[in-house]
Chain A
């Protein structure tokens, strides 16, 4: 798939509902309650945070191109997919493009890729007797992880090389051949320095962003396979750096008070923040934390009703959902219910 088509698909999903920039925030993985909720509400959570380095200027170029090709029309800051645009989308499903899972992996995919690249480079150099080289990955926490892995194997390079080769061979056999090639071309070793996404894109006559999508897909596919059978991929599994904290700083503070037994209102008064702000924090917490008990805010019956209303409503706006529900159920409840739909909590 081309990046352009992905954008078209996402604009379609948010048509009449959200601004053009909502798609930008989604791809960047903006850490706001709104963006996260939209991702689940519109069922585009697979694409949340898959392009964390996306520049606004690049995004704007794509939007302009789509407009010039008359595939979308921008009105009041919203993107409307035109007839031609709809034709392109017709009969094609982007929902699960290459099983990309942004919501699940956006916090670990980049680091995993870099760890993999550094481990491959290091092992490749060491088995060729080259122990002085410039690491191709700069971040010190990734370097220390790779160092740890090497130590665990008592620096038996041949053994690590063999196992790494074995695990990679097995896992790459399960994914699309082209994706596997794209990923390995980016790896550096004794014989040569790897290529950048931009360089591969030129070779394939595609856009750089297209190649980025393919790389992310490759990484997500690998992560899927190895997290299903971690015992089969002990070396690769070591490269997953668990991020434990997904909350914004302020929401984390609210969460701390919550865990200490304070109520929403108490927290608002202690922290001297508006009730609505603390509600935003709780929505964020409900999205990410398993330990959060949603039933302290909402009855099981209300929750069921809201879920039903979400399913019945063709539009994804909060207002029509609310209109279907009893007066006592407010927006906060609805947002909590949507947050609760995230199945990837920690």
Chain B
């Protein structure tokens, strides 16, 4: 029985995805769910978690539902699959209009794989339609979002355990790249299911880590210095859209011969798509971006990831750095830190969590007022769910409970920032500091390790790149452009 399963998944890997062999962990995870075990698995970013459910979904009898926290991520996955010729996939999310949603719901029979946002799964219509289908697997991607110890905790995810029941208890697969032991425990607790845990190390031996302490005034200078020395595919991460554009303009003027672009969530969808594809197609050298970029990006030759701002958590730092060196060659992560930089993520927390006053106002005014006028979307969502969860709580207690919960969230988020600051200020091995939260052993670096061990940025000689940069379009001649687009040869 077992060998029959193996055989046919090996063949499917080639025929469906064109890959000759499984990467570490993939086979084990696939076999685990195909044998009907609820499974919680961690694999590093970029290691191929998607295959772990896409393959079983496509060869299974029934249908697979994937819940994913980020709409853009889902949309990218569906696009990618369709581009590979796998058509029986769809997504269902709140960005679609009523007509598009109905079209998908009415054609459920034609899909093997349905990506769904947690909000859509709460809709009765969707639940009803799905409960009439045979669901083989129920997949929760980025499962750390379920855990309230996770920084990206999404309250909508808490309700997934009810959805699983309503869908007649399919086999559940929870996937994450960044789940500490306490988060893993919490996920299992939230889902109330007996789960097989498959934990794989998430460290990346080919990435060298370095923290570069600067003063607030010479950060730009230092960055320019770095870019000057290293003409290699580079991502620069920012926490602020505005600053990403400002630094983009700076680099653009300093390095007219390099192709620089910016990318953040505030841009039009068309434009975002263009920039992302340019980057994938090696038309850009440097991209200045926020965390909105890169979720779906699988570029193999990113050599340098610079953090202009520190992120809010070690987990997002690991995710973002993990975009480097997917080809296994040496890549470097540099975090530029100026004293006081932590102020920004601390401030961000305050835009995400309602204040005490706002909680009170929301509870009082909700009957007739317009809370949207004084609350941003994140705060609104937070309060709406909290209110719903405390429906049965006595009125006088509601505010107190919600405020207490809000304070808990604040503490968790602040602790995450402190943890990252501690890491930045430490003088012991960076790799050990980053990854020992997640796994018992940290493997040795394949190249240089980190600035605390053996790495000197000034001495880093990267090997000359083999990547072929694409030419800029022929300038100012429409006939030539037209020929390039539509004529062969």
Number of A residues with CB within 8 Å of any CB on chain B:
43
Give 10 new A-B contacts, CB below 8 A, not counting A184-B481, A194-B274.
Answer: A53-B268, A169-B479, A180-B478, A181-B476, A183-B478, A188-B277, A189-B485, A190-B485, A196-B270, A202-B252
Tell me if A127 and B488 are in contact (CB < 8 A). yes
**Residue among A127, A178, A192 with max Cβ neighbours from chain B (10 Å):** A192
B482 to chain A, nearest CB (A): 6
Q: Which residue of chain A has its CB nearest to the CB of B478?
A: A180
Selected from A114, A120, A137, the residue in CB contact (under 8 A) with B485 is A120
Q: Which residues of B contact A140 (CB under 8 A)?
A: 100
- Tell me whether B131 is interfacial, beta carbon within 8 Å: no
A123 near B283 with CB under 8 A, answer: no
Give Cα distance in the complex from A158 to B486, angstroms. Answer: 9
By the criterion CB–CB under 8 Å, are B486 and A134 in contact?
Answer: no
Interface pair B281/A193, CB less than 8 Å apart: yes
The answer to whether A195 touches B473, judged by C-beta atoms less than 8 angstroms apart, is yes
- The reply to whether the CB of A135 lies closer than 8 angstroms to some CB of chain B is yes
A residues adjacent to B (C-beta < 8 A): 53, 114, 120, 123-124, 127-128, 132-138, 140, 158, 161, 164-165, 168-169, 172, 177-178, 180-181, 183-185, 187-199, 202
Q: Could you say which of B80-88, B395-403, B448-456 contacts chain A?
A: B80-88
Q: Are B485 and A124 in contact (CB under 8 A)?
A: yes
Find out whether the CB atom of B269 lies under 8 angstroms from the CB atom of A138. yes
Tell me the nearest residue of chain B to A190, going by C-beta: B485
Chain B residue nearest to A179 (CB atoms) is B478
- The interface size of chain B toward A, counting residues with CB under 8 Å, comes to 35
Q: A138-B269, A193-B278, A196-B274 are in contact. Are A165 and B478 (CB under 8 A)?
A: no
Interface residues of B in 454-489 (CB under 8 A from A): 470-471, 473, 476-479, 481-488
Contact B79 A134 (CB under 8 A): yes
Q: Name the CB-closest residue of B to A187.
A: B485
Q: Shortest Cβ distance from B473 into chain A, in angstroms?
A: 6
Which residues of chain A have C-beta atoms less than 8 A from B483's C-beta? Answer: 165
Some 12 contacts from A to B, beta carbons below 8 A apart, are A134-B80, A181-B477, A181-B481, A185-B481, A189-B485, A191-B484, A192-B283, A193-B278, A193-B281, A195-B473, A196-B270, A199-B261
- Quick check: A172 and B482 within 8 Å, CB to CB? yes
Q: Which residues of B contact A189 (CB under 8 A)?
A: 484-486
CB closest residue in chain B, given A141: B100
Which listed residue, A128, A135, A184, touches B488 by the CB 8 Å rule?
A128
B279 to chain A, nearest CB (A): 9
State the CA gap A165–B479 with chains docked (Å).
Answer: 10
CB-defined contacts of B126 to chain A, threshold 8 Å: none
Of the residues A123, A135, A158, A198, contact of B79 by C-beta under 8 Å: A135
Q: How far is the CB of B296 from chain A (nearest CB, A)?
A: 10
In the complex, chain A residues whose CB is within 8 Å of the CB of B482: 165, 168-169, 172, 184
Q: Which of B84, B252, B268, B277 has the most CB of A within 10 A?
A: B277
* Complexed CA–CA distance, A184 and B278 (Å): 16
A271 to B26 alpha-carbon distance, docked (Å): 61
Among A123, A136, A195, A198, contact of B273 (Cβ-Cβ < 8 Å): A136
A residues less than 8 Å from B488 (CB atoms): 127-128, 158, 161
Which B-chain residue is minimally distant from A128 (CB atoms)? B488
**Closest A residue to B481 using CB positions:** A184
A187: chain B residues at CB < 8 Å are: 481, 485
Is there a chain A Cβ closer than 8 Å to B372's Cβ?
Answer: no
Residues of A within 8 A of B485 (CB): 120, 124, 184, 187, 189-191
Q: Specify which of B271, B482, B485, B488 lies most central, judged by the most chain A CB atoms within 10 Å of its CB.
A: B485
- Note all chain B residues with C-beta closer than 8 A to A137: 270, 273
Alpha-carbon gap, A187 to B486, bound state (A): 11
Most buried by B among A120, A169, A187, A193: A193
Shortest A126–chain B CB gap in Å is 11
Q: Which residues of B contact A (CB under 8 A)?
A: 75, 79-80, 83-85, 100, 252, 261, 268-271, 273-275, 277-278, 281, 283, 470-471, 473, 476-479, 481-488
* Residues on the A chain within 8 Å of B271, using CB: 196-198
B486/A192 in contact, CB under 8 A: no
Q: Which residues of B contact A178 (CB under 8 A)?
A: 476
B415 to chain A, nearest CB (A): 35
Residue of A nearest to B252 (CB): A202
The 10 A-B pairs at the shortest CB distance, nearest first, are namely A180-B478, A184-B481, A189-B485, A165-B486, A193-B277, A181-B478, A193-B278, A196-B271, A196-B274, A134-B83
Q: Are A192 and B479 in contact (CB under 8 A)?
A: no
Interface residue from B83, B473, B484, B486 paired with A132 (Cβ < 8 Å): B83
Query: Which A residues lie within 8 Å of B277 (CB)?
Result: 134, 136, 188, 193
A172 to B482, CA, bound (A): 10
- Are B79 and A114 touching (Cβ within 8 A)? no
Residues of A within 8 A of B470 (CB): 191-192
Let me know if A114 and B270 touch, CB within 8 A: yes
Structural contact, A161 and B268, CB atoms closer than 8 A: no
Inter-chain CA distance A43–B251, complex, in Å, is 44
Interchain CB contact under 8 A, A185 and B473: yes
Specify which of B83, B100, B275, B484 is in contact with A196 (CB 8 Å cutoff): B275
A14–B75 CA distance with the chains assembled, in angstroms: 44
Q: B54 → chain A, closest Cβ, in Å?
A: 16
The residues of B that contact A138 with a CB separation of less than 8 Å are 75, 79, 269-270, 273
- Residue on A nearest B281 in the bound complex, by CB: A193
Q: Which residues of A contact B275 (CB under 8 A)?
A: 196
Residues of B within 8 A of A172 (CB): 478, 482
Question: Do residues B274 and A136 form an inter-chain contact, with CB atoms below 8 A?
Answer: yes
CB closest chain-A residue, reference B284 = A193
Measured CA separation A180–B486 after assembly (Å): 15
- Are the CB atoms of B261 and A177 closer together than 8 Å? no
> Which residues on the A side are within 8 Å of B252 (C-beta)?
202
Q: How far is the CB of A211 from chain B (nearest CB, A)?
A: 12
**Contact partners of B84 in chain A: CB under 8 A:** 132
Q: Taking the nearest CB of chain A, how far is it from the CB of B15, in angstroms?
A: 15
* C-alpha gap A132/B488 in the complex (Å): 18
Nearest Cβ on chain B to A149's Cβ, whole angstroms: 15
Please give, as numbers and ranges, the residues of chain B lying within 8 Å of A188 by CB-CB distance.
Answer: 274, 277
From A136, A192, A197, A199, B471 is in contact (CB under 8 Å) with: A192
**CA–CA, A244 to B346, complex, Å?**
51
Q: Which residues of B contact A193 (CB under 8 A)?
A: 274, 277-278, 281, 283
Closest chain B residue to A113, Cβ basis? B270
A residues in contact with B473, CB < 8 Å: 185, 192, 195
A202 to B270, CA, bound (A): 18
Q: What is the CA–CA distance of A229 and B247 in the complex, to the nearest angstrom?
A: 48
Bound CA span A209–B470, Å: 27
Chain B nearest Cβ from A292, distance in angstroms: 27
Q: How far does the alpha carbon of A137 sit from the alpha carbon of B488 in the complex, in Å? A: 23
Of chain B, the residue at the smallest CB distance from A163 is: B486
Q: How long is the Cα–Cα vector from A174 to B479 in the complex, in angstroms?
A: 13
Chain B residues with CB under 8 Å of A198's CB are 271
Closest chain A residue to B253, Cβ basis: A202
Q: How far is the CB of B263 from chain A (nearest CB, A)?
A: 10
What chain A residues lie within 8 Å of B274 (beta carbons)? 136, 188, 193-196
How many angstroms between the C-alpha atoms of A189 and B283 in the bound complex? 13
- List of B residues within 8 angstroms of A185 by Cβ: 473, 481
Please give, as numbers and ranges, the residues of chain A lying within 8 Å of B484 by CB-CB distance: 189, 191
Question: Could you say which of A164, A184, A191, A202 has the most chain B C-beta atoms within 10 Å of its C-beta?
Answer: A184
Which chain B residues lie closer than 8 Å to A120 at the CB level? 485-486
